[in-house]
Amino acid sequence: MAKISLTTSNVRGKLNKTALLMYKHRYYYLLLIPVIVYFVLFHYIPMYGVSLAFRQFNMRLGILKSPWVGFVYFERLFDSRKFWEVSVNTLIISSLKLIFNFPAPIVLAVLINEIGNLKFKKFVQTVSYLPHFLSWVVLAGIIIELLSPSRGVVNYIITVFGGEPVYFLTQPSMFRGILVITAMWQNAGWGTIIYLAAISGIDYNQFEAAYIDGANRFQIVKRIVIPSILPVISIVFILNLGRILNAGFDQVFNLYNPMVYKTGDIIDTYVYRVGLVDMEYSLSTAVNLFKNLIGLMLVLFTNFIIRKAGDGENALW
């Protein structure tokens, strides 16, 4: 009994301490209220719609009154050759983006950090951030014009050197490369923000000591900058790997066409056609649920590997 009462008093003490801390920082917690309301309204309450994957949806009955059918739609999904085709496309496109686009903001952040002229540094940052603020509708229009076989700048340069115009956006073999390059163009600059913030938090005394020891810029980056921002790199990598089945719906939808479906059709565009065009809501929900479960498993697995490799220092939890 004494042990139980002691444990209860410890719990109460911790709760009281937590309550005091929350009251002390109450204004910070007030700032969280809009964020919490947003997530509850738009992320948690709609989760009841996941049950659509196990129901034969009927618009007149609604989601909750539609009859249960178990795993029928998952069986149909796994028997579909088209689903496996778009899954392979998604994995290939996302893997290429991870391989080439994940290091791009890190390299760019290091290069920007090495710029000595403050005005030029701000100019480079502004120019690199700009594409992030443009929607893929606008960016796709720019890309289509640049790659146009009749009036595009790229094909104009090709013809000047004696080549024939290339129909880039109708070539299945080129489409994935275009997606990777254009995604890098849009996101690399914006991705540098978190790395530049991490670099700015490095103790300046380390740089001074390195300069005194005669280290050059490359050695400083290799021995000080990269190891110092490695925890941030690890966390961003874990989160990116969890989104590996999100190959970029907005980008693909605005750039693809039936001629590149073989290499450019992804899970999200497949869900769009099945769910909104063909109105098979239960099947499209099953696809999305399967995709999110795979993403969750990848996050857990990657976090486990990074925790074991680095004694938990660079893991999410």
Please check whether residue 163 lies inside any domain of the structure: yes
Residue 38 has what pLDDT?
A: 93
Cα separation of 196 and 120, whole Å? 16
Please check whether residue 127 lies inside any domain of the structure: yes
Please check whether residue 195 lies inside any domain of the structure: yes
Name every residue whose Cβ is closer than 8 Å to that of residue 190 and which is 6 or more positions away in sequence: 105, 128, 129, 132
Decide: residue 186, CB within 10 A, 0-12 exposed, 13-18 middle, 19+ buried. Answer: buried
Residue 2 has what pLDDT?
A: 47
Q: Are residues 199 and 64 in the same domain?
A: no
Residue 246, domain extent? 73-310
Residue 9 has what pLDDT?
A: 62
Last residue in a domain, options 38, 70, 102: 70
Q: Comparing 62-66, 146-150, 260-264, which segment has the lowest mean pLDDT?
A: 62-66
Residue 3 has pLDDT above 90, yes or no: no
Percent helix, strand and coil across the chain, each rounded to 5?
80, 0, 20
Q: Comparing 5-14, 55-64, 150-159, which segment has the lowest mean pLDDT?
A: 5-14
Name every residue whose Cβ is closer than 8 Å to that of residue 226 and which is 6 or more positions away in sequence: 110
Cα separation of 67 and 56, whole Å? 6
Give the Cα-Cα-Cα angle 58, 41, 250 (nearest 5 degrees): 75
Name every residue whose Cβ is closer than 8 Å to that of residue 91 and which is 6 or more positions away in sequence: 244, 245
Q: Nearest-CA neighbor of 89 among 245, 239, 240?
A: 245
Q: Are residues 54 and 86 in the same domain?
A: no
Residue 6 has pLDDT above 60, yes or no: no
How many residues are recorded in the chain? 317
Please check whether residue 193 lies inside any domain of the structure: yes
Residue 166 has pLDDT above 80, yes or no: yes
Mark 126-139 as b/e (b = at least 16 C-beta within 10 Å). Answer: eebeebeeeebeeb
Cα separation of 104 and 190, whole Å? 11
| pLDDT confidence bin for 312, thresholds 50/70/90 | low
Cα separation of 72 and 57, whole Å? 12
Residue 306 has pLDDT above 80, yes or no: no
Cα separation of 288 and 300, whole Å? 18
Please check whether residue 315 lies inside any domain of the structure: no
Residue 27 has what pLDDT?
A: 87
Decide: residue 189, CB within 10 A, 0-12 exposed, 13-18 middle, 19+ buried. Answer: buried
- 37-56 pLDDT, tens per residue? 999 998 888 888 888 889 88
Last residue in a domain, options 16, 37, 70: 70
| pLDDT confidence bin for 20, thresholds 50/70/90 | confident
Q: Are residues 143 and 199 in the same domain?
A: yes
Q: Are residues 160 and 57 in the same domain?
A: no
Q: Does 8 or 175 have the greater pLDDT score?
A: 175
Please check whether residue 316 lies inside any domain of the structure: no
CB atoms within 10 A of CB 113: 16
Contact yes or no for 255/178 (Cβ under 8 A): yes
Percent of residues, the chain, with pLDDT higher than 70: 93
The total number of structural domains in the chain stands at 2
Residue 241 has what pLDDT?
A: 82
CATH number reported for the structural domain that contains residue 94 in this entry: 1.10.3720.10
Query: What's the mean per-residue pLDDT of the chain?
Result: 86
- 170-209 pLDDT, tens per residue? 899 999 999 999 999 999 999 999 999 999 888 888 888 8
Please check whether residue 128 lies inside any domain of the structure: yes
Residue 220 has pLDDT above 50, yes or no: yes
DSSP state of 130: G
3-state class of 47 per DSSP?
helix
- 89-98 pLDDT, tens per residue? 999 999 999 9
Q: Are residues 196 and 169 in the same domain?
A: yes
Q: Are residues 168 and 235 in the same domain?
A: yes
Percent of residues, the chain, with pLDDT higher than 90: 27
- 249-285 pLDDT, tens per residue? 899 999 988 899 999 999 899 989 888 888 888 888 8
Q: For residue 7, how many C-alpha atoms fall within 13 Å in the half-sphere facing its CB?
A: 4
Q: Are residues 152 and 245 in the same domain?
A: yes
Residue 313 has what pLDDT?
A: 61
Residue for token digits 């991870």?
98
The greatest distance separating any two alpha carbons of the chain, rounded to the nearest whole angstrom, comes to 92
Token code pair at residue 68: 């249960």
